[in-house]
Amino acid sequence: MAVAGDNLYIAASGSAGSDAKIWKISTNDGVTKSLFRNGLAMTDALAAAGDTLYFTQHAPDGDSVMKILTNVSGAEPVTVKGVREKLASMAVVGDSLYIAESNSDLVANISTVSPTAFEPVVRGLNKPFGVAAADGILYISEGVENGRVMRAFITGGAPAPFIENLKSPRGLAVADGVLYIAEGGSGKVLMTPAVGDGKLSIVAEDLVFPTAVTVANGTLYIAEGQENGRVRKAPRLWKRSDQ
């Protein structure tokens, strides 16, 4: 799930065949459009900036082989980089795309202007899943074994624990100085000041394995996974000025 301007983009993963979809939804009037007439292979990570949409595509002949593609102004998607290890999530910052590579235990960077090579930025992670960025800091969730959120400088370097003892943290989002965490294992979305001591508050609960969060026009959107396959919304409750 990703947002750009007044539009929310949602990836419906589908199967390893060609029935995955990406939906474009106006946050103003709710008008919904399916972007591609032809089916996509299994789609996971998603990011958007301006009129460009970045998403990963699962190869049908492998469990963890993905591609990164881009779609500009409704054109057919084109591959901007070849096969990589499992790409779990992405975040756009300026002219850079930051990508959590679960099977490689790292976060890599690729230029959105000239997408020719992946450059590792943060190494030494444990199955990273979510990635978000703000004010020169990367926030990275580790959900398989560690259950924590790590922080690292966007320019690279060793990651440091920020929040620990989480239950399968998945997608992350940062807005107005607040970090939002989809905690899949507890069915909650949590929030904490992005710069602070990591004290958590609950934004939403009684969810079914929330996997992604994003903020658009003052509203927090939450994607539920597993059997629900739906997106819910809640007011964004906290801003940097409220701290």
Structural domain count of the chain: 1
If phi > 0 it is left, if psi is from -120 to 50 it is alpha, else beta; for residue 173 that is beta
The C-alpha atoms of residue 221 and residue 175 are separated, in whole angstroms, by 12
* 18 part of a folded domain: no
Ramachandran region of residue 67, left (φ > 0), alpha (ψ -120 to 50) or beta?
A: beta
CATH number of the domain within which 239 lies: 2.40.10.500
Phi, psi torsion values for 12, nearest 5 degrees: -100, 110
What is the rounded distance in angstroms from the CA atom of residue 129 to the CA atom of residue 102? 6
Q: List the chain pLDDT tens, one digit each, 243 residues.
A: 899 888 888 887 665 555 677 888 888 888 888 876 566 666 778 888 887 888 877 665 544 445 666 655 555 666 665 556 677 889 999 889 999 988 888 999 988 887 777 889 999 999 999 999 999 999 999 977 789 999 999 998 899 999 999 999 999 999 999 999 999 999 999 999 999 889 999 999 999 999 999 998 888 999 987 666 788 988 765 544 444
Give me the domain span that covers residue 222.
Answer: 170-243
CB contact at 8 A, 57 and 76 = no
CB-based contact 142:129 (threshold 8 Å): yes
Asked whether residue 104 is domain-assigned, the answer is: no
Place of tokens 């509203």: 219
In a domain, 141, yes or no: no
Task: Report the C-alpha gap between 173 and 131 in whole angstroms.
Answer: 8
